[in-house]
A and B are shown apart, each in its own frame.
Chain A
Amino acid sequence: MELKEQWIAFLTILRKEIKRFTRIWVQTLLPPVITMALYFVIFGKLIGSRIGDIGGFSYIQFVAPGLIMMAVLTNAYSNVVSSFFSAKFQRSIEEVLVSPTPNYVILLGYTMGGVARGLCVGILVTFMSLIFTDLYIHSWSITLVIVLLTAMLFSLAGFINAVYANTFDDVSIVPTFILTPLTYFGGVFYSITMLPEIWQDISRLNPILHIVNAFRYGLLGVSDIHIGYAILGLMLSVVILFVISLHLLKTGKRLRA
């Protein structure tokens, strides 16, 4: 398949993915905005006003980057896992598997679909957060790099989950039992400096802590972790998950008999 044809195939998958999540916006775009609004009201306004400043910022300003990032990563993940698993379940994935579209184009198409939804939700939540607090951007480049790499990483993770999933239950296991706990313990609502030393060390093993803090650095300029390591770790993770996903497509794991 020529490069131009591959580009058309990529755009076709991406267009289909964007059309899918915008068609069902009540299920895909609205809920995270409402959920995050509730977080802002409860943790930001009601409880936050009694907590005081963290790192020189009001509590609501401190949690805003974490909440935005939480929305980005969960939506990037759930977009790919649900879309790819539905395609597998309805067997419509065969449409692209029988075509000459190369595996890496299929993977990029679905991944960028997840990134698109992650960014859409991220932008919506950011605008919504402006109702509750002021936000400014400390570093555009770091903010954009972190948000893009995170959306890619979780889209790829969602893809791997979808490949292995046999039932709709399998689709929700990882988000419920792994992603949500890691996110809540990932420094969205607190700085790890508030924890005893042993828990600070344990928290540093949580990849979401690094993502949330790197994004917070991009917005506020404060972080509990080293930004360079966070970006490097994210890049490496994206490459590793991309290679694994490509291998799954090449071997046809749970896709080809």
Chain B
Amino acid sequence: MSAALSIRNLTKVYDNKLEALKGISLDVMPGDFFAVLGPNGAGKSTTIGIISSLVRKTAGEVEVFGINIDTDFSQAKKFLGVVPQEFNFSMFEKVEDIVLQQAGYYGLPRDYAKTQAEKYLKKLNLWDKRDTPARMLSGGMKRRLMIARALVHEPKLLILDEPTAGVDIELRRSMWDFLREINEAGTTIILTTHYLEEAESLCRNVAIIDKGLLVKNTSVKNLLQELHKEVFIFDTAADLPPQFAIEGFDVNTIDQRSFEVQIEKGQALNSVFSILSQQNISIISMRNKANRLEEMFISMIAQSATDKKEQ
């Protein structure tokens, strides 16, 4: 089975001599929900730009569902839907016209395009705004419009470049649900994001890019298993005693009724509970601090920088 996306030794040197990609290779299998992580300037958007033809590659090969972009980019593009980071539609056009035009660029007959536009505008709660000029939409609506536009020709591979940047939590969650739904329906999704919680929550596999190099390419599960510590947050029924501490554990008091404990690999949560019982502290709730991937990400990037210095 051909990979949904196969990248081999991809390099990009811009006209100003900036080496944005230094030979990246990775595969994304059909049906995957794949995250591409990396700090600003890592090369994520350049990679997406090359796949979508907005950036010309310097060297390397890209295949979309087995079709090499150098031999038949037109066919490869039919499989692709791209949601860029920045708004890239005419602010003066009406919402429905923007989606219909995109359908036209993919050669969809007008009647079918209208049905598709209605379907995705309704799914993304934009149908009521179909006659509104794009400039009148809120930031979240504009993002949803770009997703509807990218989906109108029902691509097999959807690439989203930081789709939830600047979107409020409620809308972010509903967009996550929507993306999960279309992934379950068979669309392969590649997502770049700064919200590491997003990658942890949505994606099965992940690639970490830093300074144009692939630092890591594995499953999110494997990545998290490599993490040696986890942080748990506890909420107490009563105020914590002065100089509160748990012997053998790294504790950070958040406020009078909550604290966080770092659990190293090999340490047991039971020990924490027995010490708390001895101190007559009753716990009313406990949760995992949702930044595990973030810690991993920071340590990966730091490690990558150290390795380069040593070389």
Q: Which residues of chain A have a CB within 8 Å of any CB of chain B? A: 1-2, 4-6, 8-9, 11-13, 15-16, 19, 23, 86-87, 90-92, 94-102, 252, 256-257
Instruction: Give the secondary structure class of A's interface.
Output: helix
Name the residue in A2, A9, A13 with the highest tally of chain B Cβ atoms < 10 Å from its Cβ. A9
Q: Are A257 and B91 in contact (CB under 8 A)?
A: no
Interface centre among A23, A86, A97, A99 (most CB of B within 10 A): A99
Rounded to whole Å, the gap between the CB of B260 and the closest CB of chain A is 43
* Chain A residues near B92 (CB-CB < 8 A): 23
By beta carbon, the residue of chain A nearest B84 is: A94
Q: Is the CB of A9 within 8 A of B88?
A: no
Cβ-defined contact, A86 with B104, below 8 A = no
In the complex, chain A residues whose CB is within 8 Å of the CB of B106: 5, 9, 99-101
Can you list 23 A-B contacts (CB < 8 A)?
Answer: A1-B107, A6-B107, A8-B108, A9-B106, A12-B101, A12-B104, A12-B105, A92-B89, A92-B93, A97-B53, A97-B54, A98-B52, A98-B77, A99-B105, A100-B75, A100-B77, A100-B78, A101-B105, A101-B106, A252-B56, A256-B54, A256-B55, A257-B56
Is the CB–CB distance between A9 and B107 below 8 Å? Answer: yes
Closest to B149 in A: A95
Chain A residues positioned under 8 Å from B110 (CB to CB): 8
Chain A contacts of B267 at CB under 8 A?
A: none
Contact indicator B77/A95 (Cβ below 8 Å): no
B249 interface hit (Cβ, 8 Å):
no
Q: Which residues of A contact B74 (CB under 8 A)?
A: 1, 100, 102
Chain A residues within 8 Å of B86, by CB: 91
CA A256 to CA B57, docked complex, whole Å? 10
Given contacts A92-B88, A95-B88, contact A257 B49 (CB under 8 A): yes
Give me 19 other A-B pairs in contact (C-beta within 8 A), A16-B97, A257-B14, A257-B54 excluded.
A1-B74, A8-B104, A8-B107, A8-B110, A9-B105, A12-B101, A12-B104, A13-B105, A16-B101, A90-B91, A91-B88, A92-B93, A95-B88, A98-B77, A99-B106, A100-B75, A100-B107, A101-B106, A256-B56
Considering the chains assembled together, what is the distance between the CA atoms of A19 and B107 in angstroms? 19
Nearest 7 Cβ contacts at the A-B interface? A5-B107, A12-B104, A99-B105, A91-B88, A100-B74, A100-B77, A92-B90
What residues on A are CB-neighbors of B208 within 8 Å? none
Q: How far is the CA of A95 from the CA of B84 in the complex (A)?
A: 10
Closest Cβ of chain B to A248, distance in Å, is 14
Does chain A have a CB within 8 A of B102?
yes
CB distance from B97 to the nearest CB of A (A): 8
CB of B82 within 8 Å of the partner chain: yes
**B206 sits at the interface (CB 8 A):** no
Q: Roughly how many angstroms separate A11 CA and B100 CA in the complex, as a whole number?
A: 12
Q: Does B10 make an interface contact (CB < 8 A)?
A: no
Tell me if A90 and B107 are in contact (CB < 8 A): no
Q: How far is the CA of A70 from the CA of B102 in the complex (A)?
A: 35
Residues of chain A contacted by B35 (CB below 8 angstroms): none
A96 touches B56 (CB 8 A): no
* B14 smallest CB distance to A (angstroms): 7
Interchain CB contact under 8 A, B53 and A8: no
| B196 interfacial contact with A, CB 8 Å | no
B166 close to A (CB within 8 Å): no
Question: Given A257-B14, A257-B55, is A94 in contact with B104 using a C-beta cutoff of 8 Å?
Answer: no
Interface residues of B in 7-58 (CB under 8 A from A): 14, 49, 52-56
Q: How far is the CB of A97 from chain B (nearest CB, A)?
A: 6
Known: A97-B53, A257-B54, A257-B56. A86 touches B90 (CB 8 A): yes
Taking CB atoms, residues of chain A closer than 8 Å to B109 are: 8
Residues in A with CB closer than 8 Å to B84 are 94
Residues in chain A near residue B105, CB distance under 8 A: 9, 12-13, 95-96, 99-101
Interface mask (B64-103 → A, CB under 8 Å = 1, otherwise 0): 0000000001110110101010111111110001101110
Q: Are B104 and A11 in contact (CB under 8 A)?
A: yes
Question: Does the CB pair B78–A90 fall under 8 Å?
Answer: no
Q: Which residues of B contact A94 (CB under 8 A)?
A: 54, 84, 88
